[in-house]
Chain A
């Protein structure tokens, strides 16, 4: 069984972020990167399914050279091989274009199952998995909390709103996005780390896949840090003079009265 996990590299959670020159993204120069949190759960599920079904896990990661580190980490956690889609020159951040690139890159691999995390911690679109499924003409399910392979089908349990769950069955090959927080994240073992170097990583150039990179479905015009709108005012004086001031604030500034 061939399983792919779409795994993204994002800035570390406590990174100090600065905007880049034209205000369209962050300045990545001094930022450290790590595996996107949700994707750990996708990887965990992929490894579990592989273990029970004699499968092989391929990490599929798009990004510049720095993502090699996250790829190696996923290999150290037990994935068997990887595809690195080098998009050093791709400035497009639109999920449609990205999904097209990924779909092109994995098309020939004939995966039985393609997993992704819930969403990425940088853009947070949460669309990539679904879009890839559409482009490859595969069925998909999101927010998956349980899986069970059943011959050429897969049974999945999805988490819905309000404590509801849905059980459905999809024919394979299929695409699933895995809900976070439910499986134990696998630790990299030290032996795994030492072996990771020896596992195959296929390099694919995004430019060579014939996907139109310019344009895209939409364009990020500008990002900015939230403008502080809250203010703290210290009201001074005795009770008689402060009370009317508080009432005024609550009525006219906070507009709660």
Chain B
């Protein structure tokens, strides 16, 4: 039984079910869109090649006005806004491909742009009323307004639901009075409007409850003050600053989405925003590879250029195959998003986790390939390292997102188990439950779902994928039986489950990409080694995670951490002890 809500490739994997009709064929852009995209990239490249100087941007910790103005002139700021509101209205796929290219030049610009276009504007696109859209989107599209997204507070980072900023409806119900502080806000010092999240009092079943509501706040309003620019490790061109709200009057028309539904607005906005971030990581990877090859092909040691040594090849092949996998999952996800009707929240989170980690690893390895030069501030390598680091922290830390992936993934089977439980308690009533809802799933799980008709070339990889999906479903079921609702605090286990899911999405996307190319008569000669290397490494990582679910040293882990929590420092001094 598949209703629309369960139409999620990743979520069904947790039930042992492989939704092939979602996975195959790998999504494609139509020719018209492709041609437009090519021209947009060309326009950006022509501009960026002449105008973007990442060294200078890093040094002055600011994006020069000429770059901002140029981007606005080209129309970049309106990329995801529909033409109805004077934007370009490109698909998520095209948007992400352009984002990739922005990040290839400068990560700071990409972060500024993402805060504006991915998360600053997206709330209004998704939840805005006609009036709000007409008022704000054209200005956001032209760049007359730069946008920000203001959720984080001193006391509420990962625990975004714990925000303290408060919006109280005035007496004649014309406006909310906003008080509170937001920190770490990208574009905080330069934006004209921000989507701000605040607690509001909502009536629910006759009771008063504190619930989050989203607002569009014009930052030149009285009572808004901006903190000074944060001094950062990387992405130094992007402006990060706090925003303080002191009795700011926000008209009721500026409430974004329904009252009390602000958390949903925030999560939905971030869901799609994360895809941009992940796409940026693809751009970073491609640029890192280019830099690495430039160096490895020219630097000679032992009468050979570095690229001739196997240990350098190993690094390069790893980065390239991870770039291939990242591309595959990002554009699978954007393709599914563009198709519509498919829940890609898990896929988006995985793209963000995977992208931010492989680009970090890659920047580290490229510093290594560059040797001493890698450590020099006169060369670009260390900047890539500094710039890449942020992706694991913002738009949901990778830890939080792993919990999100695992917990949302096991939700489906959890529901099903609840039904099985009920069914077992009351066999007669339960019969209906089982046939109506879950019987099919039980059968599926037993029969083991499989990728069908995958090309010969990737048969072994597909088999490993099938086995791992069955494994994921079995683990999910067994941990649910073991921990029940308390699974929520079992982070060691949830982390492993998330890690398996991450590898599985990578394998699925790569297999679909290669298979689709082949079936369209395109050459897969260059794809195959990349695909095979990634799939086999991914499968072995996933198998290891699966093994550790039951056999691990979590007890020791907890003991050590508890001990350090008590002592507050490393508890031994080997040589000085008696």
The reply to whether A191 and B39 contact each other, CB–CB distance below 8 Å, is no
Report the 8 A-B pairs with minimum CB-CB distance, sorted nearest first.
Answer: A190-B75, A188-B43, A190-B88, A189-B75, A193-B39, A191-B75, A187-B43, A194-B88
| Chain B CB within 8 A of A174 CB | no
The reply to whether B35 and A190 contact each other, CB–CB distance below 8 Å, is no
| Chain B CB within 8 A of A197 CB | yes
| Chain B CB within 8 A of A69 CB | yes
When distances are taken between beta carbons in the complex, the residues of chain B under 8 Å from A192 are: 75
List residues of B whose CB falls within 8 A of some A CB: 32, 35-36, 38-40, 42-43, 46-47, 70, 73-76, 78-79, 83, 86, 88-90
Question: How many residues on chain A are close to B (CB under 8 Å)?
Answer: 15
| Chain B CB within 8 A of A84 CB | no
| Chain B CB within 8 A of A76 CB | yes
Contact partner of B42 among A73, A191, A194, A197, CB < 8 A? A73
- Measured in the bound complex, the distance between the Cα atoms of B76 and A144 in whole Å is 33
When distances are taken between beta carbons in the complex, the residues of chain B under 8 Å from A73 are: 39, 42
| Chain B CB within 8 A of A72 CB | yes
- Measured in the bound complex, the distance between the Cα atoms of B32 and A72 in whole Å is 12
The reply to whether B39 and A188 contact each other, CB–CB distance below 8 Å, is yes
The reply to whether B74 and A187 contact each other, CB–CB distance below 8 Å, is yes
The reply to whether A189 and B73 contact each other, CB–CB distance below 8 Å, is yes
Contact partner of A190 among B38, B46, B79, CB < 8 A? B79
Q: What is the distance, in angstroms, from A38's C-beta to the closest C-beta of chain B?
A: 16
When distances are taken between beta carbons in the complex, the residues of chain A under 8 Å from B73 are: 187, 189
When distances are taken between beta carbons in the complex, the residues of chain B under 8 Å from A197 are: 32, 36
When distances are taken between beta carbons in the complex, the residues of chain A under 8 Å from B32 are: 197
The reply to whether B35 and A72 contact each other, CB–CB distance below 8 Å, is yes
Q: What is the distance, in angstroms, from A108's C-beta to the closest C-beta of chain B?
A: 30
The reply to whether B78 and A76 contact each other, CB–CB distance below 8 Å, is no
The reply to whether A193 and B40 contact each other, CB–CB distance below 8 Å, is yes
Q: Which of A187-208 contact B (CB under 8 A)?
A: 187-194, 196-197
When distances are taken between beta carbons in the complex, the residues of chain B under 8 Å from A191 are: 75, 78, 83, 86, 88
The reply to whether A72 and B75 contact each other, CB–CB distance below 8 Å, is no
Given contacts A72-B35, A73-B39, A191-B78, 12 further A-B contacts (CB under 8 A): A76-B43, A187-B70, A189-B43, A189-B73, A190-B78, A190-B79, A190-B88, A191-B83, A191-B88, A193-B43, A196-B39, A197-B32
- Measured in the bound complex, the distance between the Cα atoms of B40 and A189 in whole Å is 8
Nearest A residue to B47, CB-CB: A187
- Measured in the bound complex, the distance between the Cα atoms of B117 and A192 in whole Å is 19
- Measured in the bound complex, the distance between the Cα atoms of B38 and A196 in whole Å is 13
Nearest B residue to A192, CB-CB: B75
The reply to whether A194 and B46 contact each other, CB–CB distance below 8 Å, is no
Q: Contacts A187-B73, A187-B74 given; indicate if A193 touches B46 (C-beta within 8 A).
A: no
Q: Which of A125-152 contact B (CB under 8 A)?
A: none
Q: What is the distance, in angstroms, from A184's C-beta to the closest C-beta of chain B?
A: 10
When distances are taken between beta carbons in the complex, the residues of chain A under 8 Å from B74 are: 187-190
When distances are taken between beta carbons in the complex, the residues of chain B under 8 Å from A194 are: 36, 83, 88-89
Q: What is the distance, in angstroms, from A180's C-beta to the closest C-beta of chain B?
A: 16
25 residue pairs of the A-B complex, CB under 8 angstroms, read A69-B38, A73-B42, A76-B39, A76-B43, A185-B46, A187-B43, A187-B46, A187-B47, A187-B70, A188-B43, A189-B43, A189-B74, A190-B75, A190-B79, A190-B90, A191-B75, A191-B86, A192-B75, A193-B40, A193-B43, A193-B88, A194-B36, A194-B83, A197-B32, A197-B36
Nearest A residue to B70, CB-CB: A187
Nearest A residue to B43, CB-CB: A188
Q: What is the distance, in angstroms, from B41's C-beta to the closest C-beta of chain A?
A: 10
Q: Which of A55-80 contact B (CB under 8 A)?
A: 69, 72-73, 76
Q: What is the distance, in angstroms, from B155's C-beta to the closest C-beta of chain A?
A: 40
Most chain B CB neighbours (cut-off 10 Å) among A185, A189, A196: A189
When distances are taken between beta carbons in the complex, the residues of chain A under 8 Å from B70 are: 187
